[in-house]
Amino acid sequence: RNLNTGLDANDQPLPDDSTDLFAGAAVDPQSKSWSGLQRRFEQKVEAGAQFFQSQLISDFGKLEKFMDGIAAGSNRPILAGIFLLKSAKNARFINRCVPGVDIPETLIHRLETAEKPLQEGMKIAAEQVQIARQLCQGVHMMAVRREDLIPEILDLAGVAPVQSEDYAVDSDPKAEVDSDSKVSEPKPSDHKASAPKTDDQGVSASSKTSSPLVGLSH
């Protein structure tokens, strides 16, 4: 926060004037310590965090509890961490090696029995995006070494792509335009989003938000 006011960590003036950073912070709604989670969240808000990205979410019931009990009223967007599981082996490795994560056995079984585990993992991620849309302001997509699949996952989840004209820069009024040129309309997606499987994820079906923000993680 100091950087945006033109000061460094020692409250000394920056040589190149102030910055214009939109600072965010990490949060783990699945933390075992509720009081510690609340204290750290409030400290990060006080330090200037404007939004939060969660760790990998495997228990959406805990995300819902966090949103209702801690994040509510903070006026800070929360992006839920959605991880692309590529296989049952991948899921078990995460359960074994990533603290605080407990991927349900029902999801591991789906991956283990699927003819195409990666495709099943994409479906699971899409279902989780749909659930996150009901609970918080957006998602933080994690598809390690398969970031190319993120657009398809979002398509499966029913998240509409941002149209380029939403960010179009005003054209040069002097530029000539070919009146015969045409821009084809984007084709609607062939994918149909499945309804969220709340039994697997442990979360209620109450709708709380729409039009999520989407972040990517490498």
Structure-token pair, residue 19: 């910055």
Q: Is residue 166 part of a domain?
A: no
CA distance 118 to 121: 5
DSSP-derived pairing of the beta strands 24-27 and 138-142: unpaired
Q: Is residue 177 part of a domain?
A: no
Domain that holds residue 32: 2-161+190-217
CA distance 107 to 140: 20
Contact partners, residue 100, CB within 8 Å, separation at least 6: 28, 30, 31, 32, 55
The string of pLDDT tens digits covering residues 83-111 is: 999 999 999 999 999 988 999 999 999 99
Residue 166 pLDDT? 54
Contact partners, residue 186, CB within 8 Å, separation at least 6: 161, 163
The string of pLDDT tens digits covering residues 16-52 is: 888 888 899 999 999 999 999 999 999 999 999 999 9
Q: Is residue 167 part of a domain?
A: no
Q: What is the tally of structural domains in the chain?
A: 1
Mean pLDDT score of the chain, rounded to an integer? 81
Q: Is residue 178 part of a domain?
A: no
Q: Is residue 143 part of a domain?
A: yes
Q: pLDDT over 70 for what percent of the chain?
A: 73
Contact partners, residue 169, CB within 8 Å, separation at least 6: none
What does 154-209 look like in DSSP terms, one character per residue? HHHTT-PPPPGGGGPPPPPTTS---TT---PPPPPPS--PPPP-HHHHT-------
CA distance 127 to 205: 13
